Structure 1
């Protein structure tokens, strides 16, 4: 058994025991049980930091992860899911959503969870876990799917994949002496930047990227914004069964935009469940995707520079 697979097996035992006890096991008790199980299973001492990190992430993010499970498997109430399957999903999703992908690629997190389900669950556990994690993986845009595929990378570079243009904005507002940022929250537990397609209807097919950003923020959060400056761009490949080849390239242009500090009115969509204002000091505590952070951090730096002037 591979060392990391064994390490995850140890973590799963602790999560299962904690779940069986109604979640009353403290973090300190969980770490102690982890050490006990690690010794019992013969896990390497050098894997203890990895196991501890996976365990503590799964515990800390359990509420968010459980919400994702409920949305990804709506026909299965959480309490009706077999205990092993439920905790395999918690472990797998905590890695899929929150682990450093340079250390734990998305496909590794999924495959490891499936193998755990097959090993410790019922004959149908592997298929069930695969279905739930696969649905979440697709919603995330299948991160890492094209890694190692020269042919697919070259196709993207040569423009053979349809490109869809999107526009979004990091929106800020002043409330007294404090600066606030507005973000939307997706069903996978991440805060992110409001964005949408450019010219996605015949009547607005000739709109500029800036006009699209203004329109999308109004539609998605109910805010009237003024574009201040461009922040950057991001490109990624996503699945789309409606286009030839099943994939398309999404190119997003982000702006820094100002708005009055007013009530946010979230447009109800299948992928978003909340929108909130946050003071600058609180933004660092939010859970963002890595590529989103690359846009948000420069925005915060720009706002900080303006406040100092």
Structure 2
């Protein structure tokens, strides 16, 4: 199954490319019932980089991506899936379950949550901004706004110290 392609290229931003690829890979793993490791391998071999052609996002490729970050995000979601899903679910309204979300939006929230939870290499606000750019690349409707609210709430819980008032 082919993962959806983002509409906006990352124009030389390998960390953004890694995040786009992670969202696509998580979507593909869920939709196709494939293991995360198999999908990581497929992406590294067939979808990340130009691979001798000028195919890009519209063809499901990610021209530039930080492969170690890509793998870290996808593996982080796989390793901590139950905790990540429970954490995201706690930030959804009572009338919405995680399963009710668009599968690409679900993959995006999982990737962002894994990155927020998996360390402090990247400031939380940067993680939110990166995933908001990605959300706008995949969606034209209200999904980016919805994602922003959930990600802000997640970040404030997972990285409260970064949001504490400064003296």
Shorter-normalised TM range: 0.7 to 0.9
Q: Within 5 A, what are the aligned runs for 1:63-78?
A: 63-73=82-92, 74-78=94-98
Q: Which runs of 5+ in 1 are unaligned?
A: 147-151, 156-309
- The TM-score with structure 2 as length reference comes to 0.76
Which residue in 2 is equivalent to 1:42?
63
After superposition, give the CA deviation of every residue in 1:143-164 in whole Å (9 maximum; x if it has no partner).
Answer: 3236xxxxx64x3xxxxxxxxx
> Matched residues in 2 for 1:104 and 1:67: separation?
23
- Bigger helix share: 2
1:3 aligns with 2:23: no
Which residue in 2 is equivalent to 1:116?
134
* Contact persistence 1:14–1:30 (CA under 8 A): yes
Q: Offset at 1:141?
A: 5.8
1:28 aligns with 2:23: no
Shift >4 Å, 4+ stretches: none
> Matched residues in 2 for 1:141 and 1:11: separation?
21
Which residue, out of 97, 103, 107, partners 2:117?
97
3-state DSSP class of the match of 1:28? helix
Quote the RMSD (CA, aligned, Å): 1.9
Instruction: For CA contacts below 8 A with separation 6 or more, give which structure has more relative contact order.
Output: 2
> Matched residues in 2 for 1:51 and 1:57: separation?
10
* Contact persistence 1:14–1:33 (CA under 8 A): no
Q: Which runs of 5+ in 2 are unaligned?
A: 1-9, 50-60
Which residue in 2 is equivalent to 1:130?
148
Structure label with greater radius of gyration: 1
> Matched residues in 1 for 2:160 and 2:139: separation?
26
Task: Tell me how many residue pairs correspond in the alignment.
Answer: 143
3-state DSSP class of the match of 1:38? coil
- The TM-score with structure 1 as length reference comes to 0.43
